[in-house]
Amino acid sequence: IQNSEMGSEGPKAITIHVTGFKKFQGVPINPTEFIVNNLKDYVEKKGLPAGVTLGSCTVLEVAGDGALPQLHQTMESVVSKTDANSNANVVWVS
């Protein structure tokens, strides 16, 4: 006998936001910049598991002082677009 209340809700949706970094001294192409710049196309071709969405893909300056304002702006933009009543999980990967 299955309790009708158990399992009535599916897993929470997950939105993943990814940041990478620009080149730095001695490294002409930062691998994280390459990954972030190509991630949306890759996801469009390969897909993601059900309930998982790729949100923003942002490349930041390597220097902390340069990266911080852009990171805050990206986060504020995402938060303002997210439904506060949403039951989704948000994941940030850097």
The two structure tokens encoding residue 81: 């677009």
* Domain spans, the chain: 29-92
pTM of the model: 0.70
Q: Which residue has the higher pLDDT, 74 or 7?
A: 74
**Does the pLDDT at position 2 exceed 90?**
no
Q: What angle do CA 46, 76, 28 make, to 5 degrees?
A: 55
Q: How far apart are CA 10 and CA 17, in angstroms?
A: 22
Model pLDDT, residue 7:
52
What are the pLDDT digits (tens) for 29-65? Answer: 889 999 999 999 999 999 999 999 998 898 887 766 6
Contact 59, 40 (CB under 8 A): no
